[in-house]
């Protein structure tokens, strides 16, 4: 009956617990879309009808047709193929950002909680300061210093995202840290690193996962913006942010396919990651 | 209608008969109450006693008609002859605001943390068009009655500035303000220390008696219930297993569960090996087709596992046990022989 | 006579941060507490909330550092809270603790067997078979079956979780087990089982109990000696039977008279409105 009494007993039609029981179409669509994008990125060579960098001046700037589903760009490259291939670089960047930021953020957060005291105070202060920097600004700065490409913006965004992740994980880890099960591990003589890795980490992992997925979405958007302004991935590579930018001239000439297709991919993918992240966060909270 | 539910004389204030309740869990209806029947006369106090999962709190939810969406009830819940489950919106609102009052285990969850005690107490009266001055006077008078001496100062304080015991007394005062006929108290002292519990229970009991209020008192503590109620209904797995007068329940308990519950409570006056009911308390939905207590009952027979006993009158009790007559006075839970170990002489005084 | 645990003039002061309308200050949680516990003995520290009983337990366990005073084990001063690896492990084999809330005292991600095995692996140089054997023995000792041992805490009832927590605490064969309100959160019928289990385990293993409780009935069943605490101080101490049958201190008397029992009637005290 614990399960029953813990549901808010009111006349209100739905509670969070109840909502979870129902099939959640938003969640299913998000998962499907994310899986599809990853699949496309992996299998682009098998799926794409054309070589994404093969130019054909004779077939330049065409509208959609049976040969070219999304039409061709200003130098006659197949836009559909470029969108498929574009998934690779467009996802690789965010994936790297998230892997670095999540690892760093989680490690710092758990260490801060475990050691506490001045270490925690200093780290929290540093994270607060880092928090104040807009990620995009940091990325632009990094490109100015290290030159355009994938590496500079990715490293900068990873640094900028670390405090976001560290903050969320720190508060969750702090809650776990003072629960009796962690205290009883201390009393059992287990070592600090072991308690952190084997006990605190698994218990905050659902939240880390949620935060990572949400960050995938926002870093995809940020990296897209950096490419759009020409500071990220360089032509002739296929990348969505870059494609939106490349299609600008055609857009003004009345053929918006390239910008539209790439922009659409960015928006839908970002939304899907955000939705998925939000649902995972809800689920992590319900469990806690 | 069963005859035992209709004692001669006036209709009872509350009559619950054969109440069944299903609540959706993961979209599936789950049985929470199997068969709950009891009555509370005007001015009478009834204790609903049970362990976790017994359905005692859910029963009060039905009484207040505070049920989750999709809950399905069966059976009768009558207040002064009117069906609570059948009330329309207006009747329900009147019933909740002026006929019944409720006191919860956690007073902090039942009071707005950003309004003062005074604002909380006078809100309902102000709504009923009582002047501010009069409302405040009445609130202060009530606070004094529940033993809060510096009432004017307390009126200006916020809930977080009051201790749990004091806040629970404010809740009692608030329950008395609307002059209800029935008071439902759901484990009102479980979160309090024993000395505070005694105070709060004494005040609750005194207020109730002075005003002739009927009381439904939910608790897991049989001794506490016995002290402040006229009758006790023992619940287990969504079922009332026994109802008896509080005064002599200790001596005359008939149901093996009631006897077991009494035997498993550690006493402050003597040391004995406790008789522990085997297993754990089950919830209503886990119970088999027979007696809900059958799988933990040392006296269960084949019949107990297949046929659910109905509540019936044996002596002065209502009891739901096939073997009630047969076992009457014979249920003695033998205690183990190793209790003396607690006295062994290897320790020295502190 | 020998002494396992000794507390001498133990004191703990917590700094209190300034709150609305209240200046910063100090809270004396434990004030001049002394008692001793013999090997295999059972001593209860009794009190209501705010009495300081849990702080005493946490200091003995090493989860809090005393402001002043001494804690000795076998007459030796107990090491500082953040001791080195060796000392930490040595202490783990001396003192273990069982907490009140069975829902948060076990790692939700670990099966009961894994939680016990983890301790054995950290402390003993045993092979897998020997560890498995010991886990099975511990589970049997607390009355859990194989299936329950392989389950995660979520799948177990409150009583079963508390059995698991006790099994884990006994895995290292400590000489002192601190039980911090260890049966308070349980249903009456399950509480009786755990009380009996604790009595049996003490007889079987010779472990000593430091039993923290607010429940005088439970204290009577489980302890030889008791210490009654009120607002950080010891107000009465002695054999449990003596203290409960013939209480000398007014606070102990009040505590006893407030316990519901057959024939009991709650009574109001005159001074009721004064306390905050």
A10 pLDDT tier (thresholds 50, 70, 90): very low
**What number is the average pLDDT over the span B48-72?**
90
The residue of chain C nearest to residue B274, with distances taken between CA atoms, is: C192
The pLDDT score that the predictor gives to residue C269 is 76
Residues on C contacting A at a C-beta cutoff of 8 Å: 61-63, 85, 88-89, 91-93, 95-97, 99-101, 104-110, 118-119, 122-123, 165, 168-169, 172
Report which of B302, B326, B303, B331 is spatially closest to residue B314, judged by C-alpha positions: B326
C147 with C111: CB under 8 angstroms?
Answer: no
What are C270's two structure tokens?
């005159």
Q: Which of C171, C206, C230 is the last residue of a domain?
A: C171
C105 with C165: CB under 8 angstroms?
Answer: yes
Whether C212 and C80 map to the same domain: the answer is yes
Report which of B59, B4, B3, B2 is spatially closest to residue B32, judged by C-alpha positions: B59
What are B205's two structure tokens?
């009991």
Q: Enter the DSSP assignment of C19.
A: B
Whether C154 is in a domain gets the answer: yes
The pLDDT score that the predictor gives to residue B5 is 47
Tell me the β-bridge partners of B184: B102, B216
Whether C127 and C253 map to the same domain: the answer is no
Reply yes or no on whether the pLDDT at C124 is more than 90: yes
The pLDDT score that the predictor gives to residue B168 is 93
CATH number, residue C181: 3.40.50.300
Cis preceding-peptide flag for A236 (omega within 30 of 0): yes
The residue of chain C nearest to residue B144, with distances taken between CA atoms, is: C273
Token pair 């607010």 in the structure block, residue: C214
Q: Convert the pLDDT of each residue in A77-94 to its tens digit.
A: 888 999 999 999 999 999
Whether C240 is in a domain gets the answer: yes
Whether C195 is in a domain gets the answer: yes
Residues of B with Cβ-Cβ distance to A10 under 8 angstroms: 66, 68
The residue of chain A nearest to residue C161, with distances taken between CA atoms, is: A181
Per the prediction, chain B carries an average pLDDT of 86
Q: Is the Cβ pair A181, C105 closer than 8 Å?
A: yes
Q: Which of C140, C156, C171 is the last residue of a domain?
A: C171
Report which of C201, C98, C112, C97 is spatially closest to residue C156, judged by C-alpha positions: C112
Per the prediction, chain C carries an average pLDDT of 90
Q: Convert the pLDDT of each residue in B119-161 to its tens digit.
A: 999 987 888 788 889 999 999 999 999 989 889 999 999 999 8
Compute the distance between CA of residue B104 and CA of residue B192 in angstroms, rounded to an integer.
12
The residue of chain A nearest to residue B284, with distances taken between CA atoms, is: A1
The residue segments making up the domain with residue C215 are 1-15+26-94+174-258
Reply yes or no on whether the pLDDT at B261 is more than 50: yes
The pLDDT score that the predictor gives to residue B6 is 46
Q: Is B53 on the interface with A (CB under 8 A)?
A: yes
Whether C32 and C85 map to the same domain: the answer is yes
The pLDDT score that the predictor gives to residue B20 is 93
Q: Convert the pLDDT of each residue in A185-226 to its tens digit.
A: 999 999 999 999 999 999 999 999 999 999 999 999 999 999
Reply yes or no on whether the pLDDT at B338 is more than 50: no
Token pair 């201790």 in the structure block, residue: B163
Reply yes or no on whether the pLDDT at B345 is more than 60: no
Whether C267 is in a domain gets the answer: no
Reply yes or no on whether the pLDDT at C79 is more than 90: no
Interface chains of chain C (3 or more CB pairs under 8 Å): A, B
Reply yes or no on whether the pLDDT at A15 is more than 50: no
- For the residues of B125-162, what is the DSSP string, one character each? HHHTT--HHHHHHHHHHHHHHTT-TTHHHHHTS-GGGS
Compute the distance between CA of residue A264 and CA of residue B74 in angstroms, rounded to an integer.
54
The pLDDT score that the predictor gives to residue A4 is 34
Q: Convert the pLDDT of each residue in C200-235 to its tens digit.
A: 999 999 999 999 999 999 999 999 999 999 999 999
Q: Which of C171, C196, C215 is the last residue of a domain?
A: C171
C176 with C205: CB under 8 angstroms?
Answer: no
The pLDDT score that the predictor gives to residue A1 is 33
**Percent of chain A, pLDDT > 70?**
91
Reply yes or no on whether the pLDDT at A7 is more than 50: no
Residues of A with Cβ-Cβ distance to C89 under 8 angstroms: 189
Whether C234 is in a domain gets the answer: yes
Of C89, C97, C108, the CB nearest to A184: C97
Whether C219 and C107 map to the same domain: the answer is no
Report which of C236, C239, C207, C209 is spatially closest to residue C222, judged by C-alpha positions: C209
ipTM of this predicted complex? 0.86
A83 with A68: CB under 8 angstroms?
Answer: no
**What number is the average pLDDT over the span B277-285?**
86
Whether C127 and C56 map to the same domain: the answer is no
Whether C156 and C184 map to the same domain: the answer is no
Strand pairing report for C208-213 and C225-230 = unpaired
Q: Is the Cβ pair B264, C188 closer than 8 Å?
A: yes
Q: Is the Cβ pair A1, B53 closer than 8 Å?
A: yes
The pLDDT score that the predictor gives to residue C80 is 57
Helix axes C188-205, B256-264, angle to 10 degrees: 50
Whether C112 and C241 map to the same domain: the answer is no
Reply yes or no on whether the pLDDT at B292 is more than 60: yes
C82 pLDDT tier (thresholds 50, 70, 90): low
Mutate to test the interface with C, among A5, A181, A186, A202 (most CBs of C within 10 A): A181
Q: Convert the pLDDT of each residue in A221-278 to its tens digit.
A: 999 999 998 888 888 888 999 999 888 888 888 778 888 889 999 999 999 999 999 9
Looking at the domain that runs over A24-53+65-169+204-287, which CATH code has it been given?
1.10.3720.10
CB proximity under 8 Å: A 20-49 to B:
21-22
Q: Is the Cβ pair A189, C62 closer than 8 Å?
A: no
Reply yes or no on whether the pLDDT at B165 is more than 60: yes
B330 pLDDT tier (thresholds 50, 70, 90): confident
Compute the distance between CA of residue B157 and CA of residue B166 in angstroms, rounded to an integer.
12
> Would you mind telling me the total number of residues written for chain A in this entry?
288
A49 with A43: CB under 8 angstroms?
Answer: no
Compute the distance between CA of residue A249 and CA of residue A252 in angstroms, rounded to an integer.
5
Q: What is the largest CA-CA distance in chain B?
A: 71
Reply yes or no on whether the pLDDT at A12 is more than 50: no
- For the residues of A184-251, what is the DSSP string, one character each? HHHHTT--HHHHIIIIIHHHHHHHHHHHHHHHHHHHHHHHHHHHHTTSSS-TTS--HHHHHHHTHHHH
Q: List for chain C the helix, strand, coil content (%; round to 5).
A: 35, 25, 40
The pLDDT score that the predictor gives to residue C171 is 95
Whether C89 and C180 map to the same domain: the answer is yes
Q: Convert the pLDDT of each residue in A137-156 to its tens digit.
A: 888 888 888 888 889 999 99
Q: Provide the whole-model pTM.
A: 0.85
Interface chains of chain B (3 or more CB pairs under 8 Å): A, C
Total domains in chain C come to 2
CA separation (Å) from A28 to A25, A40, A212, B26?
5, 18, 18, 18
Three-class secondary structure of residue C49 per DSSP: coil
Strand pairing report for C25-37 and B312-314 = unpaired
Beta strands in B158-298 (DSSP E): 182-186, 214-219, 231-236, 239-245
């Amino acid at each position: 009956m614990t399960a029953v009494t813990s549901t808010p007993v009111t006349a209100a039609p739905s509670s969070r617990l109840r909502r979870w029981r129902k099939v959640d179409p938003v969640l299913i669509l998000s998962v499907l879309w994310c899986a599809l994008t990853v699949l496309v990125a992996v299998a682009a060579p098998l799926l794409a009808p054309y070589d994404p960098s093969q130019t054909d001046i004779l077939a330049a700037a065409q509208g959609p047709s049976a040969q070219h589903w999304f039409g061709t760009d200003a130098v006659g490259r197949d836009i559909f193929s470029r969108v498929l291939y574009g998934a690779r670089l467009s996802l690789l960047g965010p994936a790297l950002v998230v892997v670095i930021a999540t690892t760093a953020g989680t490690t710092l957060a758990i260490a801060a909680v475990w050691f506490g005291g001045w270490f925690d105070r200093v780290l929290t202060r540093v994270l607060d300061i880092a928090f104040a920097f807009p990620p995009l600004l940091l990325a632009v700065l990094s490109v100015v210093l290290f030159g355009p490409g994938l590496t500079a913006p990715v490293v900068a965004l990873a640094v900028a995202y670390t405090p976001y992740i560290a903050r969320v994980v720190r508060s969750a880890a702090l809650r776990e840290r003072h629960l009796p099960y962690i205290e009883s591990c201390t009393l059992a003589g287990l070592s600090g690193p072991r308690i952190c890795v084997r006990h605190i980490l698994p218990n905050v992992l659902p939240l880390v996962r949620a935060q990572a997925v949400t960050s995938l979405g926002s870093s995809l958007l940020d990296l897209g913006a950096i490419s759009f302004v020409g500071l990220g991935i360089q032509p002739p590579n296929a990348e969505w942010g870059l494609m939106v930018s490349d299609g600008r001239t055609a857009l003004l000439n009345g053929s918006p396919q390239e910008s539209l297709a790439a922009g659409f991919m960015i928006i839908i993918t970002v939304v899907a990651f955000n939705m998925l992240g939000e649902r995972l966060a809800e689920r992590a909270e319900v469990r806690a | 209608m069963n005859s035992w539910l209709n004692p001669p004389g006036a209709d009872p204030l509350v009559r619950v008969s054969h109440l069944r309740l299903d609540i959706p869990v993961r979209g599936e209806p789950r049985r929470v109450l199997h068969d709950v029947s009891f009555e509370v006369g005007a001015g009478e106090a009834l204790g609903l006693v049970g362990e976790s999962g017994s359905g005692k709190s859910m029963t009060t939810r039905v009484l207040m008609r505070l049920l989750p969406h999709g809950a399905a009830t069966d059976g009768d819940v009558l207040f002064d002859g009117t069906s609570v489950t059948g009330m329309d919106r207006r009747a329900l609102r009147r019933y909740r605001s002026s006929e019944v009052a409720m006191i919860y285990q956690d007073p902090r969850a039942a009071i707005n943390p950003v309004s003062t005690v005074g604002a909380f107490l006078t809100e309902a009266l102000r709504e009923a068009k009582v002047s501010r001055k009069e409302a405040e006077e009445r609130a202060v008078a009530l606070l004094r009655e529940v033993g809060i001496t510096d009432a004017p100062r307390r009126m200006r304080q916020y809930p977080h500035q009051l201790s749990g015991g004091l806040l629970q007394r404010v809740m009692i005062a608030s329950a008395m303000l609307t002059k209800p006929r029935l008071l439902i108290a759901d484990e009102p002292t479980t979160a309090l220390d024993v000395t505070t519990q005694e105070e709060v229970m004494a005040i609750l009991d005194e207020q109730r008696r002075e005003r002739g209020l009927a009381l439904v008192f939910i608790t897991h503590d049989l001794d506490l219930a016995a002290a402040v109620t006229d009758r006790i209904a023992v619940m287990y797995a969504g079922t009332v297993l026994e109802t008896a007068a509080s005064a002599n329940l200790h001596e005359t308990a008939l149901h093996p569960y009631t006897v077991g519950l009494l035997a498993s409570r550690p006493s402050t006056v003597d040391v004995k090996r406790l008789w522990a009911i085997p297993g754990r308390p089950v919830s209503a939905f886990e119970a088999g087709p027979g007696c809900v207590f059958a799988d933990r009952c040392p006296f269960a027979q084949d019949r107990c596992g297949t046929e659910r006993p109905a509540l019936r009158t044996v002596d002065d009790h209502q009891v739901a046990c096939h073997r009630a007559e047969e076992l009457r006075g014979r249920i003695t839970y033998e205690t183990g022989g190793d209790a003396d170990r607690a006295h062994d002489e290897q320790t020295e005084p502190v | 006579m020998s002494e396992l645990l000794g507390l001498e003039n133990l004191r703990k002061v917590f700094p209190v941060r300034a709150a609305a309308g209240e200046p910063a200050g100090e809270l004396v949680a434990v004030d001049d507490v002394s008692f001793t516990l013999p090997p295999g003995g059972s001593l209860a520290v009794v009190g209501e909330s705010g009495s300081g009983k849990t702080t005493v337990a946490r200091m003995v366990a090493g989860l809090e550092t005393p402001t002043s005073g001494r804690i000795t084990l076998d007459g030796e001063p107990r090491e500082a809270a953040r001791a080195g690896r060796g000392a930490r492990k040595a202490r783990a084999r001396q003192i273990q603790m069982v907490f009140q809330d069975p829902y948060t005292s076990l790692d939700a991600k670990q099966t009961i067997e894994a939680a016990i095995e983890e301790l054995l692996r950290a402390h003993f140089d045993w092979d897998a078979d020997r560890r498995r054997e010991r886990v099975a023995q511990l589970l049997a000792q607390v009355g859990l079956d194989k299936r329950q041992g392989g389950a995660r805490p979520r799948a177990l009832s409150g009583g079963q979780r508390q059995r698991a927590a006790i099994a884990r605490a006994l895995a290292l064969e400590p000489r002192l087990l601190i039980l911090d309100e260890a049966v308070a959160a349980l249903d009456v019928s399950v509480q009786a089982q755990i009380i009996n289990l604790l009595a049996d385990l003490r007889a079987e293993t010779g472990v000593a109990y430091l039993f923290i409780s607010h429940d005088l009935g439970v204290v009577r069943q489980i302890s030889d000696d008791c210490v009654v605490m009120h607002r950080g101080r010891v107000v009465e101490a002695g054999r449990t039977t003596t203290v409960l049958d013939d209480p000398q201190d007014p606070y102990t008397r009040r505590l006893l008279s407030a316990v519901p029992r057959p024939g009991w009637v709650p009574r109001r005290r005159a001074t009721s409105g004064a306390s905050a």
